[in-house]
Amino acid sequence: MPYLREAWYLAAWAEEIKPGELFHRTLLDEPVVFYRLRSGAIAALHDRCPHRFVPLHLGKLENDIIQCAYHGLQFDCSGKCVHNPHGSSKAAATRPYAVVERDGLVWIWMGESAEAKLELVPDFSHMSGLPETAGSQGYLWTECNYKLVADNVMDLSHADFLHADSVGGGAFTAARQHVEEMGDAVHITWECRHDKAPPIYDQFLAVPGQPVQFRTEVRWRAPGIMNLDITITPCGGGPLQALQTHNAHIVTPETATTTHYFFWLTRQFHMEDAQINAHRHTAMMRAFSTEDKPMLCEQQRAMGTDDLFSLRPVLLPSDAGAVRARRKLEQRIRDEQAAKASRPSIEAAQRPTTQTAT
């Protein structure tokens, strides 16, 4: 299945792109080079010189211009060749991408439409405004298709088995699951009264070990952006006693079988406590990197394809949210492909030029 192109993808944490440096990452099979202009804004170009196709990130950055390391062609942030030490350079160019930096996240528009849709940039201001000690971020390069990582977040019943001693503990299996489509989004909630909170929360209750009202919600939207909110309220207690977390899990394909997995965890309790923050980060990082990631990589290896449905998987009720998300994404991709096929001449006109310099 091709990728959805007309969409914002998370390319990097803002701090990964440092002034004066060329940062490169492959997204949707395309090599991209990022850098900061002197203004602080981020530029992104196809990381391939149009002359002999070497990666531009091997070159050097000076005054907002990248000079190719091989024969010295120079490109500005629009991708235009602005200097060719060997003669005229009018026709040489590499593709520019629209990039937006917001809430400490760097989003890239991978489509070819002339104008990226700024109103669609995902909003995480409810998390970026919190104290530093109330959140943490992580990145895991994961050797599996990006939809498998999304499935993993959309079906949290795995937590009771794969993460039994941290975020699991039986509540997901005991919960009533509700899946709802909200326009382009898929929402899934798990709710139940449970004898005990998951271990990672239980220690923070006023009376550890007490029964709780458990609620987790995941809100998915294409191409793979998920908000995950957890509320754990002691039975008989009110919202003031509740433990709440807001989290984001965001996946961007690198290739058909490798994924950039970004996660961002925040909490609404003990928000000023750096030690709790560090412990929580370590515990969650351990769960994601030593439990989820190896399982996803093994799953991809065992599947031997990025096409899950071609293998005719047994579907369980707990797969409902993940399957609906996959269907929505597939429909978006089909619509995009159909629209593209109906306007070949416009697209050809928009395609970046990669002619040889003369």
Choose which of 1, 14, 54, 295 interacts with ligand FES (CB under 6 A): 54
Strand partners of residue 212: 194, 234
Q: Which two tokens stand for residue 113?
A: 């439409």
Q: Does 6 bind Fe ion (CB under 5 A)?
A: no
Question: Residue 320: in which H helix or E strand, if any?
Answer: helix 320-342
- To ligand FES, the closest distance from the beta carbon of 53 in angstroms equals 7
Least distance to Fe ion from the beta carbon of 260, Å? Answer: 17
Residue number with CB closer to Fe ion (99 or 287): 287
Applying the rule CB under 5 A, the residues between 286 and 325 that interact with Fe ion are: 292
Omega into 223 within 30° of 0, i.e. cis?
yes
- Cα torsion through 327, 141, 6, 150, rounded to 10: 20
Residues in contact with ligand FES, counted by CB under 6 A, come to a total of: 9
Q: Quick one: which segment of 63-71, 95-103, 107-115, 285-293 binds ligand FES (CB under 6 A)?
A: 63-71
- 8 Å CB contact between 3 and 253: yes
Q: Could you count the other beta carbons within 10 Å of the beta carbon of residue 125? A: 8
Q: Letter for the amino acid at 261?
A: Y
CB-side neighbour CA atoms (13 Å) of 156: 31
Size of the site for Fe ion (CB under 5 A): 1
Rule CB under 6 A: choose which of 18, 52, 327, 351 binds ligand FES: 52
The residue range among 66-74, 112-120, 292-300, 309-317 that interacts with ligand FES, by the rule CB under 6 A, is 66-74
Instruction: Report the nearest approach of ligand FES to the CB of residue 85 (Å).
Output: 9
Task: Starting at the earlier edge strand, list the strands of the sheet with 243-255.
Answer: 135-142, 258-267, 243-255, 225-234, 212-221, 185-194, 176-182
- Please check whether residue 299 is in contact with residue 144, taking contact to mean a CB–CB distance below 8 angstroms: yes
In this chain, which stretch among 65-73, 155-163, 274-282, 312-320 interacts with ligand FES, using CB under 6 A? 65-73
Q: Are 243 and 270 in contact (CB under 8 A)?
A: no
By CB under 6 A, residue 139 contacts ligand FES = no
**Binding status of residue 51 toward ligand FES by CB under 6 A:** yes
Does residue 71 touch ligand FES according to CB under 6 A?
yes
Name the minimum Å distance from CB 138 to ligand FES: 35
CB 159 within 8 A of CB 177: no
- Residue 280 contact partner, candidates Fe ion, ligand FES, none, CB within 5 to 8 A by sort of partner: none
Structure tokens that stand for 65 in this block:
């211009």
Contact letters (x/-) for Fe ion, 240-279, by CB under 5 A? ----------------------------------------
Q: Is 222 in the site for ligand FES (CB under 6 A)?
A: no
Q: 84 near 51, Cβ under 8 Å?
A: no
- Asked whether 271 and 131 are in contact (CB, 8 A), the reply is yes
Q: Which of ligand FES, Fe ion, none lies near 167, with the C-beta cut-off 5 to 8 A by kind?
A: none
Q: Is 68 in the site for ligand FES (CB under 6 A)?
A: yes
Residue 281 binds ligand FES, judged by CB under 6 A: no
292 binds, among ligand FES, Fe ion, none (CB under 5 to 8 A by kind): Fe ion
Residue 295: other Cβ atoms inside 10 A: 15
Report the DSSP beta bridge partners of residue 44. 34, 97
DSSP classification of residue 352 = P
Longest dimension (CA), the chain: 79
Part of the chain binding ligand FES (CB under 6 A), chosen from 39-47, 71-79, 197-205, 301-309:
71-79
Among 73, 148, 188, 212, binds ligand FES (CB under 6 A): 73
Which residues contribute to the site for ligand FES (CB under 6 A)? 49, 51-52, 54, 68, 70-73
In the complex, the residues that contact Fe ion under the rule CB under 5 A are: 292
